[in-house]
Amino acid sequence: MKIKPPLGILLATSIAMTGCSNNDPAVDADVETGDVTTLRFSHFMTANDNINTEALQPWAKKIEEESKGRLKIEIYPSATLSKPGATYDATAKGIVDIGMQAQGYTAGRFPLTQIVELPGITNTAQQQSCILHKLYDDSVIKNEYEDTHLLALIGTGQGALHTVDKPIRTPADMKGLRIRQPSAVASHIIEATGAAPVGMPASDTYIPSTRCH
């Protein structure tokens, strides 16, 4: 059984996949005339991450197949095209065509969306995804994405704590530890336990590839 690392700590986080909002007539014309249009897709996950290999790559392939090869998506993983915390803005400005970013990487930018990170709101990634899309469809959080074309909101579900030599069984066990935090919401929770939050994107964490027997 492969160990799947969480993207969040102690609570749920979410990810937005957006496309450039600029309406470029040249792009539409290329597709109509049979010319190939290539869209650059930037995200912070590694190339061998399950989301990249099992979701994003098949999706890009499907887009190419259904457009009969006229629309191609080049995927740039590991933040090689835009920094993890700057991908949304890079997409909005047209620097990249499609971007995927965790809302928590830009503190204060998506306050309404990040309500799903609060403890007790959701229990699974599927449940969180449904809540996010319902909030968007009901225009509760829609304004936070008005400068892009939103493609999807993806819930990551509950996270977990990974430690080297100190088991974490109660919040009190976290006191004095340095814990990676993915967002401001998680940071407040970590601080409340007496631990010190350390900010870094998931792409900067090291997780060895191992198997459980």
| pLDDT tens for each residue of 41-60 | 999 989 998 889 999 999 99
Confidence tier at 134 by pLDDT (50, 70, 90): very high
| pTM for the predicted model, two decimal places | 0.74
Helix (H, G, I), strand (E, B) or coil at 56: helix
What domains appear along the chain, each with residue ranges and CATH number? 16-109+141-154 (3.40.190.170)
Tokens of 28: 């539409």
E strand or H helix that includes residue 132: helix 125-137
How far is 133 from 207, CA to CA, in rounded Å? 31
Residue recorded with tokens 């225009």 = 139
The closest alpha carbon to 186, from 14, 3, 1, belongs to 14
pLDDT of residue 33: 54
- Judged against a pLDDT cut of 60, whether residue 4 lies above it is answered with no
Q: Quick one: average pLDDT of 191-197?
A: 91
pLDDT of residue 184: 80
**Residue 8 to residues 18, 93, 105: CA-CA distances in angstroms?**
21, 28, 12
Q: Is residue 32 packed enough to be buried (19+ CB in 10 Å), middle (13-18) or exposed (0-12)?
A: exposed
Question: Is residue 18 within 8 Å of 151, Cβ to Cβ?
Answer: yes
